[in-house]
Amino acid sequence: MERLGFCIIGCGGIAHLHAEGASSCEGVDLYGCDIDIKRAEELMGEFGGKGVFRDYEEVLRREEIRIVDICLPHHLHREVAVAALEAGKHVLLEKPIASTLKEADDIIEAARRAKERFGTKFMVAECWRFYPPAVKAAQLIEEGVLGEPFLVQANTFAYYVPSGWRRKLDEMGGGAFLDRGIHFVHMTIWLGGGDVEAVFARTTHRTVREMEGEDSGFAMIDFKSGVVGQVNVSWGTISPPRLPNIAVYGSEGTVYDLDGLYLAVKGREPVKVEESRLEPWMIPEEVRHFIGCVRTGAEPAVTGEMARLDLEVVLAAYESARTGERVTLPL
Ligand SMILES: NC(=O)c1ccc[n+]([C@@H]2O[C@H](COP(=O)([O-])OP(=O)(O)OC[C@H]3O[C@@H](n4cnc5c(N)ncnc54)[C@H](O)[C@@H]3O)[C@@H](O)[C@H]2O)c1
């Protein structure tokens, strides 16, 4: 089996789970890159890495490194992703694809050119695509078990005070709705059928004053099919009650994910149809998926265009919250 050099650029908080995923794959040589070289050294020490770099441009010059896994603050996504794609690397890029549509378009175009020129793969690391209850809910919708879905809900409520670049609007690109909420926007679009027509939203900022962006956001997504999506996101809720991560309501039944996915069809008690494994499990899984795509040539599960639509819906929500208007797509 051909050996694959895999370098994580940005060895901070989320990199640990990426390293766990990459190091569990056969034939992978792990490397780390961070401007804070100690972070790269520590991570590589823990996962048996083969080397560390301070400068990402040096990573891109190394032929043995075939896959670059970008785990950087949002304002650096475009610069590093485009450079890596132009250097002919396969690129796995943490969500959000970027924080503006122009940056997202630059990345998508660079990925298209790199695919044509070098045959490289590109995927946005939207880990909730690998969340078993969401995968099962999508399957049940597809099989028609819920009849005609009319409402898709996604909820993520917590109390969380971010630090560092996450507090700054120009580095983060937004607040809780962009950072955490985009996962739940992704699942709502996926389960709602994908054809987004318009977004109506509110954001609030009353609890987590340490950050410049909003700490909470609530959006309604209208799909062209008539399905309605509802995404509720907060980092400012103290001891929130448990709400389903996702719920889909249809003419013949309901699915909701509390501690696993429950299916209720007319006239029957709800039954558990899928377990929820712990959330962090999804990230090593998505890394293994991407490495598998590089090896086999299969298409990655999350395309740049899907991640762009997630971002467009978040930006439409911001626009709606700012103007008080319902915002139609495309932006
Ligand atoms: N999938 C998820 O659930 C999830 C969870 C957390 C974070 N993320 C995403 O992962 C990305 C990183 O987030 P994080 O929480 O790990 O951030 P972090 O701040 O913990 O880590 C970022 C790292 O990048 C390094 N860095 C900064 N500039 C650099 C440069 N020019 N070259 C090399 N290294 C540089 C920093 O020193 C730091 O170690 C973001 O896109 C974020 O949205 C995803």
Q: What is the pLDDT of residues 49-64, one digit of tens each?
A: 999 999 999 999 999 9
Question: Is the CB of 95 within 6 Å of ligand 1?
Answer: yes
Q: 9 alpha carbon to ligand 1 midpoint, in Å?
A: 8
Question: Is the CB of 35 within 6 Å of ligand 1?
Answer: yes
Q: 77 alpha carbon to ligand 1 midpoint, in Å?
A: 10
Ligand 1: atom nearest CA of 10 is: 24
Q: Please write down the HEC assignment for all residues of the chain.
A: CCCEEEEEECCCCCHHHHHHHHHCCCCEEEEEECCCHHHHHHHHHHHCCCEEECCHHHHHHCCCEEEEEECCCHHHHHHHHHHHHHCCCEEEEECCCCCCHHHHHHHHHHHHHHHHHHCCCEEEECHHHHCHHHHHHHHHHHHCCCCCEEEEEEEEECECCCCHHHHCHHHHCCCHHHHCHHHHHHHHHHHHCCCEEEEEEEEECCCCCCCCCCCEEEEEEEECCCCEEEEEEECECCCCCCCCCEEEEECCEEEEECCCEEEEECCCCCEEEECCCCHHHHHHHHHHHHHHHHHHCCCCCCCHHHHHHHHHHHHHHHHHHHHCCCEECCC
The residue segments making up the domain with residue 76 are 4-127+282-301
244 and 293 inside one domain: no
88 and 207 inside one domain: no
Is residue 47 one of the residues assigned to a domain? yes
Is residue 213 one of the residues assigned to a domain? yes
State the pLDDT at residue 278.
65
Q: 135 alpha carbon to ligand 1 midpoint, in Å?
A: 26
Q: 14 alpha carbon to ligand 1 midpoint, in Å?
A: 7
182 and 245 inside one domain: yes
Per-residue pLDDT of the chain (331 residues; tens, 9 = 90+): 899 999 999 999 999 999 999 999 999 999 999 999 999 999 999 999 999 999 999 999 999 999 999 999 999 999 999 999 999 999 999 999 999 999 999 999 999 999 999 999 999 999 999 999 999 999 999 999 999 999 999 999 999 999 999 999 999 999 999 999 999 999 999 999 999 999 999 999 999 999 999 999 999 999 999 999 999 999 999 999 999 999 999 999 999 999 899 999 998 999 999 988 767 789 999 999 999 999 999 999 999 999 999 999 999 999 999 999 999 999 9
Is residue 94 one of the residues assigned to a domain? yes
99 and 197 inside one domain: no
194 and 322 inside one domain: yes
159 and 41 inside one domain: no
Task: Please state the domain count of the chain.
Answer: 2
Check which CATH number belongs to the domain holding 38 and give it: 3.40.50.720
253 and 293 inside one domain: no
12 and 106 inside one domain: yes
82 and 141 inside one domain: no
Q: What is the pLDDT of residues 226-235, one digit of tens each?
A: 999 999 999 9
Is residue 105 one of the residues assigned to a domain? yes
Is residue 306 one of the residues assigned to a domain? no
Ligand 1: atom nearest CA of 80 is: 31
Ligand 1: atom nearest CA of 164 is: 19
Ligand 1: atom nearest CA of 77 is: 41
Is residue 319 one of the residues assigned to a domain? yes
Check which CATH number belongs to the domain holding 250 and give it: 3.30.360.10
Nearest protein Cα to ligand 1, atom 24 = 10
295 and 180 inside one domain: no
pTM for this prediction: 0.98
Q: 52 alpha carbon to ligand 1 midpoint, in Å?
A: 16
State the pLDDT at residue 106.
98
Is residue 37 one of the residues assigned to a domain? yes
15 and 27 inside one domain: yes
178 and 319 inside one domain: yes
Average pLDDT, the chain: 97
Is residue 163 one of the residues assigned to a domain? yes
